[in-house]
Structure 1
Amino acid sequence: MASVAGIVEDNKKIRDLIQRYLDMQDDLSCPVAVDSVEEMLEYLEEHPGPDVILMDIQLPGMSGIKGIGIIKEKYPDIEIIMLTVYHDSHKIFKALRAGASGYLLKHTSLPEIKESILKLLDGGAPMSPQIARKVITHFQEETPKKDPDSNLTPREHDIVNGLVDGLSYKMIADRYDISIDTVRAHIRNIYKKLHVNSKAEVIAKSLKGEI
């Protein structure tokens, strides 16, 4: 069954180009492409939500970063990838903290955008190489602070290690001989304990030594 994507992008040329490309794929469809968070929220009230939304940051009306928080709160199962021209650390980490699961720059090619969507839906956290370098540098510069409230179980630590290793949910399930539903249940508990909304934040906390 094809995965479903949505787009929030105020540049009509870019929006239409990505929507047409995704709709041509056998394993993806893109029924909704709008130019504001407000329009996407109206769409979500009337239609089933897409599996993943590509979201710009600078938008008319509400910003993309504010929009992530609202969408993730109302529709926690929708994954969000930022697709933006901004590559300063402040905006990157604001987006990841708000609940984005990936961060791509707008010069990313259409095949790479498709690959990133599929990678995300398979449990990955796609980022443009330039963004990934900034994230790693940020982690290296920060002093590790253990969170005494995290209290992850040994199995939850196993799941976190799988995420850090870049494994999909299926690969984590295979590694530890458990079902994918069990992996998802553990991940929901990990999110609650760590007070995060995305795989990217779990990986960030692990790399920073906070877990």
Structure 2
Amino acid sequence: MIKVLLYEDNPQLREGLTMLIDGSDGFCVQAAYKNCDNVKDEVDAWKPDVILMDIDMPGTNGIEGLKLIRSVNHDVKILMLTVFDDNKNVFEAIKGGANGYVLKKTPPSKLLEYIQEAASGGAPMTASIATQVLKMFSQIEMSKQNEDYNLSDREKQVLQLLVDGYSYKMIASEMFISIDTVRSHIKKIYEKLHVNSKSEAVAKAFKDRLV
């Protein structure tokens, strides 16, 4: 039996979800609340397997409630159930320790599957949310890579000229520096990009949009 604790401020939806989950084999709703004002005490008292959590609630909302629960309990599975599929809420929920994120328009049978999946250690997500999450993490990874390389403006200029096909001599002439200084810049660029040749440096510059 999967024990579910429900947080939803809309009374009709709260009642509808309670009837759906309670009326399905293998599930039971222990209690349902309209906000997270006393969430730590309620979770401690009921010890649910899965918490279905709305985001937009008066008083203590779902994101705040999620953080409160995670400050004392890392085991209970928390499934965000919401009309919001914007980046900010998705990111805040994942950062706060949510196990899954599903939209309220999810069909009832699918919702029960998601609850079961969360209970067994999965991370259920509506398809549109999953797409956003992948995109979001790819953007984070890309910006992290760019920061990690930590190229100086001068090194970026040299790298740009390498990409444009300039020789060491042409770079020296273009930048009014000696060939030895060009070599010194390029050595540092290779070290920072973790590459060993001009072709690798150029490939990485394109891949990670460094120039």
Structure 1 and Structure 2 fold alike (TM over 0.5): yes
CA offsets, 1:177-202, max 9 Å, x none?
Answer: xxxxxxxxxxxxxxxxxxxxxxxxxx
Quick one: which amino acid aligns to residue 25 of structure 2? D
CA offsets, 1:19-69, max 9 Å, x none?
Answer: 111111221111111101014434334x23111111111111112101101
The 1:64–1:18 alpha-carbon spacing in structure 2 relative to 1, beyond 3 Å, is same
- Please name the residue that 1:209 is paired with: none
> TM-score if structure 2 supplies the norm length?
0.64
Quick one: which amino acid aligns to residue 13 of structure 1? Q
**Runs of at least 5 residues in structure 1 that lack an aligned partner in the other structure:** 147-211
- Please name the residue that 1:56 is paired with: 54
Q: What SS class does the counterpart of residue 114 from structure 2 fall into?
A: helix
User: What are the residue-to-residue correspondences of 1:97-136 with 2, within 5 Å?
Assistant: 97-136=95-134
Q: Alignment identity in percent?
A: 34
Q: Using the TM superposition, name which of 103-112 and 137-146 deviates more.
A: 137-146
Query: Does the 8 Å contact 1:52/1:78 carry over to 2?
Result: yes
- Please name the residue that 1:142 is paired with: 140
Q: CA deviation at 1:113?
A: 1.1
The 1:31–1:89 alpha-carbon spacing in structure 2 relative to 1, beyond 3 Å, is same
Quick one: which amino acid aligns to residue 34 of structure 1? Y
Q: What CA distance in whole angstroms lies between the structure 1 residues aligned with 2:46 and 2:11?
A: 23
Q: CA deviation at 1:138?
A: 1.3
Query: Does the 8 Å contact 1:6/1:30 carry over to 2?
Result: yes
Aligned residues: 145
The higher-RCO structure (CA 8 Å, 6+ apart) is 1
- Please name the residue that 1:89 is paired with: 87
Q: What SS class does the counterpart of residue 46 from structure 2 fall into?
A: coil
**Runs of at least 5 residues in structure 2 that lack an aligned partner in the other structure:** 146-211
- RMSD between aligned residues: 1.8
